[in-house]
Amino acid sequence: MTPRTAIHDHKLPDATEPHETGASSVLRPVVFGGNDGLVSNLALVMGVAGANPAPSIIVLAGIAGLLAGAFSMAVGEFISVQSQRELLDYQVAFQHKQLREAADQERAILTKIYIERGFPVDETDRIVEVIFEEPENAVRTMIFEEVGLDERSIGSPLTAAGGSFLAFTLGAFIPLLPYLIWAGTMAFSLSLGVSLAALGLLGLGIGVMTRRSLPYTAVRQVLLGGAAAAVTYAVGSFIGVQAG
């Protein structure tokens, strides 16, 4: 697929439309956290159900999967975001030191970066001089250009952890809920049906964010989640037969 083809697979926004709204930046971790919880716990529940154990075993496995996955996601997000912030703090201190001790070297580095991007030399010199007039502006620019870190893209570790925990929990609860109310074939059918429907809705959310065809992203999500559930169910059934 050529880059041009890849671009035209997406519905491009109007030129005056913002690249990303506050709502979409909040929606992203919710959608993907919910997707992880839903797919992983659906596969777990279907795998255990395939072995045809007592309903209480399925419930226990579903609850264990929900809690283990939610805490794992929360800890992972906290460590990831906190590590980025710690790296950013280190880079800020380091760049302040570089500006004090080797300002000309830092100017030369930034000048080279902009020239390699196609800026005219004279224009680049003026831009760099303006940036370095304000030390804090120079520090932020050098960190972004050299390291690729931008404080605006690094959220709160606690917010990231809490959002991931909640989204994963809600997603993982969907395939478990029918087994808390019913048992047997009814619970199995409802768990699978409701989970696939939820996967379709998540696919729509992903389509909205990525601007891909909504039917495509919905069907893709259902097929991938359904495939995971089918594989684990088959494995569970095989193990159940062998154990029996």
Each residue's pLDDT expressed in tens, for the chain with a length of 244 residues = 444 444 445 555 554 454 554 444 456 667 778 889 999 999 999 999 998 888 899 999 999 999 999 999 889 889 988 998 898 888 889 888 988 888 889 888 889 999 988 888 888 889 988 998 888 888 888 888 887 877 777 778 888 888 889 999 999 999 999 999 988 899 999 999 999 999 999 888 888 877 888 999 999 999 999 999 999 999 999 887 666 5
Q: What burial class does residue 20 get, using C-beta atoms within 10 Å of its C-beta: 0-12 exposed, 13-18 middle, 19+ buried?
A: exposed
pTM recorded for the entire structure? 0.77
C-alpha distances in Å from residue 172, one per residue of 35, 38, 62, 240: 9, 4, 8, 24
Least Cα distance to 139 among 82, 95, 73, 188 occurs for 95
Annotated domain spans of the chain: 24-231
**Alpha-carbon distance 147 to 160, whole Å?**
22
